[in-house]
Amino acid sequence: MSKAMSALLCSLFLILISVPAFAQDEEGLISEKQSRDQGDRYDELAAKIEKLQDKLDALVTTSERYAGENQRLKEENARLENELYLVNTELNQARNIADDTSRRFDSSVVAVDQRDQIRFDYGRRVEDFCADAWGSEDDREQCSRQQYNFGAVDSIMKSK
């Protein structure tokens, strides 16, 4: 765009300066004053063309700078999108681990509750048996074995 605009402005300038400085009117040559006025006019136009060329160069420079900034922002955006994808992936993995841990915890709570219920029921049976077992020697011996077994089972269940 810059080269095309420069070529256009240069062509316009060349056309303007190629018009002969002296032309004939009805009486002959254009007066020297008119020639100077025309020369001044050409100088003004040349100055305007130069200013326009400077503005065009400034616009091209600004455009190139914005194009570079735009490219940098696109690259930064792509990097951030990739980083966001990785963070979302890690977040989903953490959620899956948390869900799995929660399910395992819930299962272990149920297992502990069931184990405690078994210990409680077995202990109650031993207590009930021993409460009624004080009549005979065999009953007392059976009660003692039941209490020993309950203690062993209880300690095993508590350790798990």
Distance, in Å, from the CA atom of 113 to the CA atom of 51, rounded to the nearest integer, reads 90
CA distance 160 to 151: 15
Q: Tell me whether residue 130 is in a domain.
A: yes
Which range of residues forms the domain containing residue 115? 2-16+31-159
Residues 47 and 9: beta-carbon distance below 8 Å: no
Is residue 134, in this structure, part of any structural domain at all? Answer: yes
Mapping DSSP to helix (H, G, I), strand (E, B) and coil, where does residue 1 land?
A: coil
Report the chain's terminal Cα–Cα distance, integer Å.
81
Q: Is residue 132 part of a domain?
A: yes
Quick check: is 24 in a domain? no
**Is residue 25, in this structure, part of any structural domain at all?**
no
Instruction: Express each pLDDT in 66-110 by its tens digit.
Output: 988 999 999 999 999 999 999 889 888 888 888 888 777 766 666
Residue 78: per-residue pLDDT: 93
Place of tokens 């890690």: 90
Q: Is residue 21 part of a domain?
A: no
CA distance linking residue 54 with residue 93, whole number of Å: 58
Classify residue 2 by burial, with Cβ atoms within 10 Å: 0-12, 13-18, 19+: middle
Give the global pTM: 0.40
Q: Is residue 105 part of a domain?
A: yes
pLDDT digits (tens, 9 = 90+) for 102-136: 777 766 666 666 766 776 676 666 666 666 655 66
pLDDT category at 1 given cuts 50, 70, 90 is low
Residue 26 lies in a domain: no
pLDDT > 60? residue 21: no
Number of structural domains found in the chain: 1
Segment holding 24, helix H or strand E: strand 24-25
Coil/strand/helix, residue 84: helix
